[in-house]
Amino acid sequence: MTTVANDRNTDLRVIGKSLPRVDAVGKLIGLTAYADDIELPGTLFCKLLRSHHPHARVLSIDTSAALAMEGVVAVITGVDLPIKYGIMPTSQDEHALENEKVRFVGDPVAAVAAVDEETALAACRVIEVVYEPLEAIESIEHALLPPTDEPIHDYAGPGNIHRMGALEFGEVDEGFAKSSFIREDVFFYEGNTHLPMEQHSAIATYVGDQLTLWSSTQNPHYVHRALSRVFDMPMGHIRVVAAPHGGGFGGKSDPFSHEMAVSKLAMITGRPVKCTLTREEVFYVHRGRHPVLMWVRTGVSQDGKILAMHFRTALDGGAYGSYGPASMLYTGALQTTTYNIPAYRFEGVRVFTNKAPCGPKRGHGTPQPRFALELHLDKIAESIGLDPVELRRRNYVKPYSRTINHLRITSCGIEEVTDQVINASRYHERKKQLGHGMGFAVSSYMCGAGLPIYWNKLPHSECIIQVNRGGVSLYCGATDIGQGSDTVLATVAAEQLGLWPTDIRIVSGDTGLTPVDLGSYSSRVTFMAGNAALQAAKEMRDILVEVVAEKMECSPGDVMVGEGKIGELSFEDAALLAQERLGVLTTRGSYTPPRDIGGKYKAAGVGPSPAYSYSAAVVDLNADPYSGEIRLNKVWIAHDIGRSINSLAVKGQVEGGVYMGLSEAMMEGQLYRNGLHKQPSMLDYKSFTFLEMPEVETFLVDTVDLEGPYGAKEAGQGPLLPVIPAVVSAVYDALGVWVDEVPITPDKIMRALDARAKGREGRYGPKKFPQISYPPIVKVPPFDATSSAF
Amino acid sequence: MLRLPRFSYLRPGSVAEAAQVLSEYGSRAMVMAGGTDLLPKMKRGQIEPEVVISLGHLDELRQIRAVSDGGFEIGACVTLAEVVSSSELRAAYPGYVRAAALVSSPALRNAGTIGGNLCVDTRCNYYDESYEWRKALGFCMKKDGDICRVAPASATCRAIASSDTAPAAMSMQATVVLVGPKGMREVPVASLYQDDGQFYMTKAADEILVSLRMPDPGRWKSSYVKVRNRGSIDFPLAGVAVALQLSGPVVDDCRIIITAVGPQPLDVSHAAQPLLGNRIDDTILEEVAAEAAKPARPLDNADLSYVWRKRMTRRAIEQAVREAAEVA
């Protein structure tokens, strides 16, 4: 790993160092108690009965045989949980247990609490549900047709259309008219799932009107709200604790049926109730990557400058709304944060189908258009005889600029990340050789969404630091889902207080004990909670310094902080002295993104972020011209991190993103057959093993963002994005055929080779984009700094 | 997580006792060696024995013995990892040992046995999921249903032969020893399987496979090529075992067995005819591979497209012949 530092700030003692994470030891020695490890006396075990039909009316549910079984304590159905919920205010379309109709195979209809899991499962099997099957919608094209039976939902529409958007910035028709070259392409990105190591698990207690839920959730803040809504209970009587996490990647960002069911069953039985999903159920719970069909048309000038772009997307949302309205807009929002597009038109639609609901997965809504955009630019470059890297460079956004869709760009290392991977990989020196290829792509991602998921004016993140008995505790609602947010918070505070990260006790992700943080989604935690922690830590440092200055009879400016000391005193002595004088010490910090980072048009809430990270990748591979099999040789990845808080943790995130990107580029698919998930098991849902993973060389580029904590930006999602198009581009470089569809599997490559051998276009991918009645285009006026009030 | 259903677990003291117990319980019982195939399938309700008879602890089934005719007898409960680490077996039967080394993952080779791999259940992606999933899809004839989901017109189940070691053993003309209520019998591995994914083995339900007898390799060189999506864990999408006798560069004899392209491993040695008396070259090899792959009938019940799998079978045949010739 190489760090390219633009800034020579050597004062920092712990920020940026390569250190083990603060939670590493507990995980290594097996003492970390994940939700499923929580054992409480008298715990009952819950299983959900899930629909066997993709789309059906529920005519009746008879639970009497289950209730009569020995060991069964309670059985609930949708009658017991009538209030709907959903992560977004506009998509309150889920019942914890469906009572009237089921919308995908796996939709829960009943829940059993029993003395053990076997009994609960056996009881589920004797619950009698009478269904009346309805026509199942299995594809985007199918969902666009008028339904023969009835739409999947009774809101939104027409038919099975969930959400549409149509926006135009700048003069698109004019841009095309001026273009000397125009190209259109169609792409398809298959859906895939998160595959966290830990299956979702939740355990609830209900004691004296107080409901407590421990859950493997990324977003305790939103689960808290959903529970309050579903149980019509005051927020103050509900506590949601994000248990230590075995991986989220977006898959644990929604409130879920099993969380509602164990809560309700705990209320009914008065006993703790736990539900841990099977791996198969995790595939049904899903909320993963949307399958997206894309059409893109771009006009460029003679010298390769983009003059206009028109981007259309159609997302297969599965059975429920989830984050869908945002997912749809994200397929159009971030094309402009890498390339200066002076005229841009976006039309998007999300449809309902009878499949497991899609939602946010690492990169939320942006890997699909990034894949299409990067390959589209490769094709344009080839068409106009320009080097693909050069074409991109001619269109790169500039630091501290404003995109046509009103997004504020601040620090931007797109040139630097490009230089790093192009030079290190010797991309331009490669020899043209059948079967060997290299591909390049760039991308950009947000450091946290500019707006919360529901409208409110609470800070996006808050921290409390308490100094008590000579020690430091930091309280923050942020949730460490394995991305290392506890380590980030501890490191930020340690730097200010002259301590080591492991000196800081972190209490996080607990709505009963910690102040608000919106959650671990949209790569927001380092930037937002990091800033809140920084503010609280600075204030605490000032208090301690002042007390010590008084004792030392010097000015606060002469008190050095570091190496575990405040001036002449050890940290502990200084802390005890301060507590003697002032009582227990607490400071607060909070963060809310600035208001001028985006526009104020309808749908402007999706895309703005206080900063954007930039990533570039080169993939080197061999592709077999007979079999289409790919052997990856190496990946070079450069990431504009702003500044690392912990460079080891950043590197882990970058490499993890590369791994996930490669696996979904080449193998993964949430596939369906006859309305049923084709392969809900880890043996048959193919994802990379160690053996598929090539060498990765990581470059961290420091651009030191002016608003990030110590200049830091995100690392959790961005580095996945360029990897996927770079793989497909490298296959084209090796074999001369395009596979305009992800995953790029050997059989698809073979079909593209076959097509070329038969004299047809050497391509595999969607032939056309469907006719869609998008709404009338909303022409958005140019950004006006004086009126921006988003 | 998925839980095992309730069952009785018996731990007989000898093979004779195991055979006795098995004949008492008949089809209500299953024998278990490493359990790597049986236990997950019990969790998914694909196999529902009331009684599981353990064999893995029996020392008499855990021996690798050189026998007087120059071959080896390998006990059924010798693990795949033990076979892989045996230098004698590797020298004598490189194809068979290679096949054992390519089964699943290191952890499962430490538990999985050679007997278990010869008897491993056929696979089909209309079958290899949980009870709930199969109920949603509609059950198939292999378990709880009455039609073949991948080939609805077929009178028999088309689940895929998935043992890597079976074709390799067949290429050496190995035999297995079966012990049943009527005593012991020795049968060729080649006659152990039939063209039916449901009743894929010819052995009687009350017979226990106790050992694999590999004959003296003599001048036979061997190889095994496995086609799969990933470098580990996966079952074969196609498998080819080749045994070859050479005089210098000239082929004297050649056996080719293909697997995972239908419900049973297929001996397609007849296709090797053009090689006999000739040097191995691209043209002959292409002709041989095309002919040998003809009986391959992959269907849409495994990973990747069946067209690709069929074509890769040809490729694997060519590769296996070359690799066998290169074995020192």
Three state DSSP letters for A619-653: EEEEECCCCCCEEEEEEEEEEECCCCCCHHHHHHH
The verdict on a CB contact (< 8 Å) between B1 and A746 is no
A787, pLDDT greater than 50: yes
Closest-CA distance of chain A to residue B114, Å = 21
Residue B153 touches chain A, beta carbons under 8 Å: no
Residue of A nearest to B6 (CA): A118
DSSP state of B286: H
Model confidence over A21-79: pLDDT tens digits? 999 999 999 999 999 999 999 999 999 999 999 999 999 999 999 999 999 999 999 99
Nearest CA in chain B to A125: B132
Across residues A312-322, what is the average pLDDT? 98
SS3 state of residue A227 = helix
B318 band by pLDDT with thresholds 50, 70 and 90: very high
Give the per-residue pLDDT at A350.
98
CB B172 within 8 A of CB B212: no
Written as six digits, the tokens of B151 are: 């080939």
Give A-chain residues touching B3 at CB under 8 angstroms. Answer: 117-118, 121
Q: A221 — phi, psi (to 5°)?
A: -60, -45
Q: Is B59-119+160-214 a CATH 3.30.465.10 domain?
A: yes
The answer to whether the A292-451+598-764 and A452-592 domains have the same CATH topology is: yes
What is the rounded CA–CA span in Å between residue A456 and residue B140? Answer: 53
Residues 180-239 of B with CB under 8 A from A: 229-234
| Contact assignment for A747 to B315 by CB distance below 8 Å | no
Is B303 an 8 Å CB contact of chain A?
Answer: yes
- CA dist., res. A162 & res. A137, Å (int): 13
> What does the alpha-carbon distance between residue A727 and residue A262 come to, in Å, rounded to a whole number?
43
Rg (CA), chain B: 19
Tokens of A701: 């580029």
All structural domains of chain B with their residue ranges: 8-56, 59-119+160-214, 221-326
In sequence order, what E strands does B167-214 have? 175-180, 183-188, 208-214
Tell me the CATH architecture of domain B8-56.
2-Layer Sandwich (3.30)
d(CA B229, CA A683): 11
Over residues B288-315, the pLDDT tens digits come to: 999 999 999 999 999 999 999 999 999 9
- pLDDT tens-digit profile of B34-70? 999 999 999 999 999 999 999 999 999 999 999 998 9
The shortest CB-CB distance from B315 to any of A278, A627, A674 is to A627
Residues of B in contact with A688 (CB under 8 A): 230
Distance CA B227, CA B293 (A): 14
> What is the C-alpha to C-alpha distance for residues A277 and A283, in angstroms, rounded to an integer?
10
Mean pLDDT over residues A430-453, rounded? 97
The CA-based angle B311-B316-B319, given to 5 degrees, is 135
Dig out the tokens for A774 from the structure. 């998008």
Is pLDDT of B328 > 80? no
Portion 184-213 of A in contact with B at CB < 8 A: 199
Report which of A237, A239, A247 is spatially closest to residue A217, judged by C-alpha positions. A247
Q: Which of A18, A6, A13, A15 is nearest to A698 (CA)?
A: A18
Interface mutation target, options B308, B309, B319, chain A, most CBs of A under 10 Å: B308
Any CB–CB contact under 8 A between B248 and chain A?
no
* Interatomic CA distance for residues B165 and B171, integer angstroms: 10
Q: Which amino acid is at A595?
A: R
pLDDT of residue A8: 45
List chain A residues with CB under 8 Å of B312: 627
**Pairwise CB contact (< 8 Å): B132 & A50:** yes
How is residue A698 written in tokens? 């990581």
B281 in reach of chain A (CB within 8 A):
no
Residues of A in contact with B234 (CB under 8 A): 683, 686
Whether A4 shows a pLDDT value over 70: the answer reads no
Q: What does residue A378 show for φ and ψ, rounded to 5 degrees? A: -55, -45
Alpha-carbon gap: A240 to the closest alpha carbon of chain B (Å): 23
- pLDDT of residue A9 exceeding 90, the answer is no
pLDDT mean over B251-270: 98
Write the CA distances from A238 to A12, A196, A272, B99, integer angstroms: 41, 27, 15, 57
pLDDT score for A6 = 44
User: Is B290 near chain A, with CB under 8 Å?
Assistant: no
Chain B residues whose CB is inside 8 A of the A679 CB are: 125, 129
Judged by a CB distance cut-off of 8 A, whether residue B310 touches chain A is no
Q: Are A626 and B130 a contacting pair at CB < 8 A?
A: no
Strand ranges (E), A353-435: 401-402, 408-409
Report the CATH fold assignment for B221-326. Enolase-like; domain 1 (3.30.390)
Task: Give the pLDDT score at A648.
Answer: 97
Smallest Cβ–Cβ distance between B133 and the set A118, A626, A680 belongs to A680
Does the CB of A680 have a partner CB in chain B at under 8 Å?
yes
User: CATH says A35-134+199-245+252-285 is which class?
Assistant: alpha beta
Q: Nearest residue on chain B to A675, judged by CA atoms?
A: B137
Q: For residue A682, which amino acid is it?
A: M
Which residues, at least 6 apart from B253, have a Cβ–Cβ distance to it below 8 Å?
B244, B245, B276
**Residue range A401-424, pLDDT digits in tens:** 999 999 999 999 999 999 999 999
Tens digits of per-residue pLDDT, A535-584? 999 999 999 999 999 999 999 999 999 999 999 999 999 999 999 999 99
A-chain residue closest to B150, CA distance: A673
In DSSP notation, A662-684 reads: HHHHHT----EETTEES--STTT
- In chain B, what's the furthest Cα-to-Cα distance? 59
Q: What is the mean pLDDT of residues A671-691?
A: 96
**Which stretches does DSSP call E strand in A650-776?**
672-673, 676-677, 695-702, 738-739, 741-742, 763-764
CA–CA gap between residue A137 and residue B78 (Å, rounded): 50
Alpha-carbon span B267 to B241, nearest angstrom: 10
Determine the residue of chain B that is closest to A681 in CA distance. B129
**CB contact (8 A) between residue B129 and residue A689:** no
Pairing of strands A565-566, A778-780: unpaired
A133 part of contact set with chain B, CB < 8 Å: no
Q: What per-residue confidence (pLDDT) applies to A784?
A: 86
- Amino acid at position A461, single letter: S
Asked whether the beta carbons of B74 and B83 are under 8 A apart, the reply is: yes
Residues 6+ apart with CB under 8 A from B74: B63, B64, B65, B83, B89, B114, B211, B212, B213, B214
Check: CB of residue A417 under 8 Å from CB of residue A310: no
Q: Is the CB of A108 inside 8 Å of chain B's CB atoms?
A: no
Does the distance separating the beta carbons of A279 and B129 come in below 8 Å?
Answer: no
> What are the chain B neighbours of A52 within 8 Å (beta carbons)?
132, 135-136
Amino acid at A542: D
Residue B219 has pLDDT above 50, yes or no: yes
User: What's the pLDDT score for residue B315?
Assistant: 97
> Which CATH code fits A452-592?
3.30.365.10
Contact status, residue B243 vs residue B324, Cβ threshold 8 Å: yes
pLDDT at residue A361 is higher than 70: yes
From B2's Cα to the closest Cα of chain A, the distance in A is 6
CA atoms within 13 A on the CB side of A279: 17
A567 near A545, Cβ under 8 Å? yes
Q: Please name which of A288, A363, A361 lies closest in space to residue A333, comparing C-alpha atoms.
A: A363
Question: Which residues have CB under 8 Å from A581's CB, separation 6+?
Answer: A547
**B200, B194 contact by CB (below 8 A):** yes
With an 8 Å Cβ cutoff, is A679 touching chain B? yes
Q: Is A398 exposed, middle or buried (0-12, 13-18, 19+ CB in 10 A)?
A: exposed
**Which residue, chain included where needed, has tokens 């006026």?**
A781
Are A131 and A59 in contact by the 8 Å Cβ rule? The answer is yes
For an interface test with B, the pick among A103, A124, A683, A764 (most B C-beta atoms closer than 10 Å) comes out as A683
Nearest by CB to B308, which of A50, A684, A747?
A747
Q: What's the mean per-residue pLDDT of chain A?
A: 96
**What pLDDT, on a 0 to 100 scale, did the predictor assign at position B52?**
98
| Chain A touched by B129 (CB under 8 Å) | yes
Options 3.90.550.10, 3.30.70.2660, 3.40.50.11540, 3.30.365.10; CATH for A292-451+598-764 is 3.30.365.10
Strand partners, A719: none
Task: Check pLDDT > 70 for residue A7.
Answer: no
pLDDT at B1: 76
A676 with B133: Cβ contact below 8 A: yes
Q: Which residue of B has its CA nearest to A672?
A: B137
Break chain A into its structural domains and give their ranges: 35-134+199-245+252-285, 292-451+598-764, 452-592
Burial classification of residue A785, based on how many CB atoms lie within 10 Å of its CB (0-12 exposed, 13-18 middle, 19 or more buried)? exposed
Model pTM score: 0.97
- Return the H-helix or E-strand segment holding A538: helix A525-552
Check CB contact under 8 Å for B2 and A278: yes
Residue entry with tokens 């006999």: B276
Q: Is the peptide bond before A158 cis (omega within 30 degrees of 0)?
A: yes
| pLDDT given for residue A1 in this prediction | 52
